[in-house]
Structure 1
Amino acid sequence: MGDLHTWTTVLITDITYGIQGEEAQPFIKTAIEAVKSITIATTPGAFLVDQISILKYVPEWFPGAGFKRKAREWDLLRMEMTEDPFRVTKERMVAGTATPSLASAALEQMDPTKDIAKQEELIKAASVTAHIGGTDTIVATMGGFILAMLMNPDIQTRAQHELDRVLAPGDLPTFALEPDLPYVQAIMWEVLRHQPVVPLCFPHLVTEDDVYSGYLIPKNSIIMPNIWSILHNEDDYPDPYRFNPSRFLDINGRLDPSVKDVLGPAFGFGRRACPGKELALASLWIRIASILTCYRIEPEIDEYGNLAERKAEWYPGLTMFNHPLPFKCRFIPRSKDIEVSLDMNFT
């Protein structure tokens, strides 16, 4: 999904550090590799030390201690991703050439009477967290959307009919039209529900004794809410393993407020809920609506001119980040305004 990674990383780099367009290119590879390392490292059971904790005391050369070498390599990636773009933002602020960003706004609001170095470290940590959090999640969700359209041509057709009714020929969707496109909205919600990007919520610490369904959860327990289970509950979402945006609509084709909200579980809980939720939703909606307006997503054609089999495969097992396995498709322009057909290889 190289194109999606580049597209998303450029956007997040601009928002976080004010580094725009081509200037963001040097930071893209590091960001993508760093996010991949986090995906692997946070997968339960990815390394033997997860089951045999005593391995954390063995030297790096010892059999079974490969995780230590990986950790050292990944720590260098983390430092590079944390330090380099932040340094560019600071240098541009000194030169008076910085564009507005999360990092520049926070630096401008530092309290000169308090520890400057400590404040900068906090801003640096918050910035890189926002950068990481907004990259792979959007890429995985967009990959899931494209794959869902490939596998469900009837749903894609219905969404495009809705767009064609609302948009004038040659126009692109805008946020002002969002209320007039309930089926497009329902597709976005179903993408988030059907294959949640974070199937297991990040660990939370229980701050006081609690009882759930008759089970005591003691204070200081570490819990990981099962988002996958919540979003596949048959009582809330009948036939939950079927990709069906219509589940969010009433008989008149309007959004049905009685259907359980997917955004709460999809974006986390409590104080640790995703702070970039609104940005993510806006970004996803405009991308989904724009792609459906401009292109028809179709299977690739083999060497004999036949359409390839429509096939959907996802990363095996319950991981921290969920994403589709590599797949191929074609983007067919829906109008003469879109100049060429795009063959895209999602790897």
Structure 2
Amino acid sequence: MSPTLRCLGTALILLCSALRASATQDAALERGTAIIDPLALRELDRGRFGLTRVLMPERSANIPLTNDRLFALPSMAPVRKSLDDEYERYIANHKANLPNESIGIGTSFDFQLFDRTLLYSPDTRFVLSGIVNRMDRAYLAEAHCGEIRLIYRLTRTAVPETSDAASPRLPMTLNVVLKAKGDRAVDGGGAAITCATIAQRWLAAGDLSMTGVELAQKLTAKDGPLDLVAPENINRIETNLQIAHAPKSPVRDFRTDYLMKVFDYNAQSASFEEAPLENQIDRERLLADETLKRDFKAWLLDPKNFREFDRGTVLIPERFLVKGAVAMTPVGFAPSDLQPAFGLTQGEGGSAVFSEGDVVAALKKAA
């Protein structure tokens, strides 16, 4: 396949693994899409948006939830087991694929692992670092008006005293994803809350010029956007861990690997259970299973699914998805097995899913 068609084919497949990015990282946030004021976030973290109150709403005390206690919660037991399994799997895969490059905790190793003991330590906790309005995802479930994401950053609570100033922030985030509108959401007068009402609250919040405690109070007031964000609306949690990084060396360029996981909330068992990542295809299974490969090809090239892809609302069937992914960066534009869809198009391996003709035909239909 020619380089041009390969790029087009890869773009077609990467709908399963690509997230929309802004044109520039420093572009201003659209009005009403996020709460990023650090002083207001600190105040919210001290109150009902601290992880203690979010995951254990029955507790009235605003005591910070350290990670040793967080991962001791029955609801988090499946999360801890899954993360531990992925950690061990990552090490085993590295030793099998890169036996000549050492891996371990510390700067003496070629691949420097995240110190897993920090994840379960009494000296670390997840601190609220942002709140994002994702009402644009209402296409997933219109009745819930999209999602609200509480973003927590792993942070040391006790920074070791060394000659080098260690940053208290650690390379992991935990997102609590909630329905923007609960099943029985009503306003102060008892009237049902609509998606338009929620959107208006967020737009109004975007016009606020205050900061700190004053802003936090306004956001959580009865007419504020955060008044409707409640623990009973939790849908899932998402984790993103920088599991390892490799400094630039004579044998490789700088590389950082991120482990991504999703855990849906099961109300019946009151726990978070491992779930597929909605935008990450399971490349290994697709390439190894002829039936799955054929079904994925038919699904992806279906005109209806292609139109939804063009609108950014396509929902990939779970049978094609993976329950954990390691995103490696940077990977560049040259075809490489570091890319999540590598091997699926003709010319990138002996068992491709899509031929050159498939890609050309799909692009013509979309034109």
TM-score by length of 2: 0.23
Structure with the larger strand share: 2
TM-score by length of 1: 0.24
Structure with the larger helix share: 1
